[in-house]
Amino acid sequence: MKKGIVAVTTMMLFSMAGVGHAVETEYGEMGIDVDATWVSKYIFRGIDKLDDKAAFQPSVNFDLFDTGFSFGVWSSFAGSSKGGGSKSTVDAEEWRYILTYANSVLDGEQCQTDYALSYVYYDY
């Protein structure tokens, strides 16, 4: 039964992974991007964060009405090991809140420069 639930959940997540959508409002168009990822080993900046355990990493990003601003939430939850072993014993929940402003200077010119400024808040 447990394997069936995991299989159905996995299929549902893969079917919605990378879904993007735009919503028209009175302020303009707001883009929404939803992603769900399952990784067999979570390595962050060269460090194996979960001691060879898997992780589920969903995220959602909002493009705020074509203003250049966007807001996103990314999270990571520990899963089990590759061999179906026990759940990770480390503090396995991680959240990131990301506020970004992106724009271009000299649009259409040969020396066009794109830039992005981001603030990331990590919550462990």
More confident site: 13 or 68: 68
CB contact at 8 A, 106 and 115: no
Q: How far is CA 34 from CA 19, 22, 25, 26, 40, in A?
A: 5, 11, 19, 23, 20
- Domain locations along the chain: 2-123
Q: Which of 32, 71, 39 is nearest to 55 (CA)?
A: 39
Amino acid of residue 96: R
Q: What pLDDT is attached to residue 36?
A: 94
Q: Mean pLDDT, to the nearest integer, of 53-62?
A: 91
Question: What is the C-alpha separation between 87 and 42, in angstroms, rounded?
Answer: 13
What is the pTM assigned to this prediction? 0.67
Q: Mean pLDDT, to the nearest integer, of 54-71?
A: 92
Mean pLDDT score of the chain: 79
Asked if the model's pLDDT at residue 64 lies above 70, the reply is yes
Asked if the model's pLDDT at residue 16 lies above 90, the reply is no
